[in-house]
Structure 1
């Protein structure tokens, strides 16, 4: 396929919202722009995780033509709210695309599910599906009722099949997803490419002076900094991370005392804070839970860290297809990572 002159990227979340979907869409949009394409992004106002649009937090366009829909969505908490949000957004996009009459050489649906591709399909665009997750199997983990979980998987895969068969191709986050596509959907000829989550190397780069950076951030120079940044969601299992840190703290020997930094927001925040409150006082003071912050500031914390956490709480069948954006940002910053066995690191 010839290089497109104009590209439409459609994503429910986009910079500056926190999380893998926002980072993925932003990175792909910048990648197409760097190839000389005129890039339009159809997305929402920043609203994660409470669903309220925040007009005052929209950053510059970075050379992108941003079309932001002002939608009032439900809080990203629980299975039902997510399904409603991911269904409502494509309906709003159908209306926007029908009214705008835009002409694009290629459209890219970015997301954890194929719903974003539906308005592209109905408006006659040639589109590719970017898969950074395998919906509905990952979200099905939140459904405790086995029959309901089975129905969700069957219906979700039927929708996937319909969208996938009509797509021009796929952009995969992880090459392992190619095998799952063939196994679950029996696609005889899959046109695909592999694009890992890009890191903004202008922000995420090794620190010239970690001591100076820590002094600026108020981090103890004699601490061993363990860092997590991103969404506080079910897939991350952060309450378990906090409890594991508490158990490991007393057995760690060395001059540098460990300190755990958790930066972000999400539906599991309350459980994370509860897990922290249950720690012994001397351990509790070594856990810092910080709110979401601009990526420029997050990058400084990453560059000041000694170890980056990439927790993934998923089934063995799915864990190895997920490559979180934070893992690439840690590596770009020269920070070693700790991730579950069997995940993207092998």
Structure 2
């Protein structure tokens, strides 16, 4: 049995103009499925992440229907809560799990569900009688102990693990963004590896375009981070590396651009250090195009993950965007991000939390411009070959087709 123009219901609490990796995941998948001749309907929340500022046009209505080309986007109620702390995050998840169900009258015939949010994903799977793929953008329960936000032996996490195991069992397929998640999903949650299909976040290479960056001799070497300023990142290693660069009289500047729960602490820390070669900006960027334009001004791009004490299993979506821009990447991480950058030969891997090695990596890139350009080109070539949104959409469509064929054989 062959399926051509699949009708897919994509459910995600976050969707542009929301910021962050989950919104990027949903947006890239939507574009990829459309590029592969699928008809997509999106259920998402009112724009709210990460600041909790609900635009005026969404206030006092339970559901709002919009269109992106031929795609129906159904936005459901979200409270004006800033995404910070465990309690507020849980409240936001709970609100969307309930409000997204009110989109049912606007959902016509569908062939399959992409469950970026699991509760509504399983609900529509049961109501419509179609297969559901459960998306895994992070390992939340495993991240909490790593971030020192919860005790891994606590009763709360044990209960949550039981609940997660139940949800995992309800998916027809599980689609993590990173191969580093597969072992945990299989061993801890009892999901057979045959049900797990890694589908990367990918990147829209038509927005994030490679371009030549010719730095004038009088200009400082520019290293940029852009994204959420959250607890998973260690900006202290940047501050300490900046001190080393300043002491060595090296013309280099770090630019940290973003917002999030750590913004105030980062700003206060910078005031205390009085560093002249670190710039912090929280200016709101309204689109991925603006993000791409900002990152394109860099000579190198940085991923400053924390030292988690063990290999990090995920691959942040910004790495694909960094690669697409053709800039060398400084990857302060262990685990999957480090493995990914090394295998694609698109940057330098630095031990997280080691500012001396970070400073040395910057010395190397400045002293070896030809090698820096090669790393950037390698990253762009890898993206075009493996993780464009069209390639990601094709993987998802193949998975949906397989599940529909299996369902038809029963």
TM over 0.5: yes
CA-atom RMSD in angstroms:
2.8
Q: CA deviation at 1:264?
A: 1.7
Counterpart Cα distance in 1 of 2:200 and 2:142: 21
Superposed displacement of residue 188, structure 1? 3.1
Tell me, what secondary structure is at the counterpart of 1:68?
A: strand
Contact 2:242/2:278, CA 8 A, preserved across alignment: no
The 8 Å contact of residues 43 and 69 in structure 1, kept in 2 or not, is answered as yes
Greater share of residues in helix:
2
Shift of 1:2: 5.5
Aligned match for 1:260, one of 254, 258, 273: 254
- The residue aligned with 2:297 is 304
- Preserved CA contact (<8 Å) 2:147 2:308: no
Equivalences, count: 329
Separation in 2 of the partners of 1:330 and 1:63? 30
Measure, in 1, the Cα distance between the counterparts of 2:303 and 2:120: 27
Q: Distance in 1 between matches of 2:130 and 2:214?
A: 48
Q: 1:217 — aligned with what? A: none
Deviates more, 1:298-307 or 1:134-143: 134-143
Deviation digits for residues 27-79 of structure 1 (CA, Å, limit 9, x no counterpart) = 11111111111011100121112323225699972543211123224211111
Q: Distance in 1 between matches of 2:262 and 2:52?
A: 15
Q: 1:221 to 1:173 in 2, by over 3 A?
A: farther
Alignment partners' CA distance in 1, 2:125 and 2:311: 27
**Alpha-carbon distance change, 181 to 6 in structure 1, aligned in 2, over 3 angstroms:** same
After TM superposition, where is structure 1 displaced by more than 6 Å over at least 4 residues in a row? Answer: 56-60
**Residue in structure 1 matched with residue 99 of structure 2 by the alignment:** 92
Residue 87 (structure 1) shift: 1.5
**Which residue among 144, 155, 168 is the counterpart of 2:159?**
155
Map 1:184-333; keep pairs closer than 5 Å.
184-208=188-212, 210=214, 222-238=219-235, 240-254=236-250, 257-280=251-274, 283-284=275-276, 286-293=278-285, 294-313=287-306, 315-317=308-310, 319=312, 321-333=313-325
State the SS of the aligned residue for 2:141.
coil
Q: How far 1:195 moved relative to its partner?
A: 2.0
Secondary structure, aligned partner of 1:345: helix
Report deviation, 1:21. 0.6
Residue equivalent to 2:132: 127
* Cα distance change of structure 1 residues 286 and 178 upon mapping to structure 2, 3 Å threshold: closer
Residue ranges of structure 1 left out of the alignment (5+ in a row): 215-219
Does the Cα contact within 8 Å between 1:78 and 1:142 map onto a contact in 2?
no
Determine the structure 2 residue equivalent to 1:9.
10
Do the aligned partners of 1:232 and 1:267 also contact (CA within 8 Å) in 2? yes
Q: Is the Cα contact below 8 Å between 2:77 and 2:96 reproduced in 1?
A: no
Distance 1:292 1:221 in 2: 29
TM-aligned CA distance change 1:105 to 1:187, over 3 Å: same
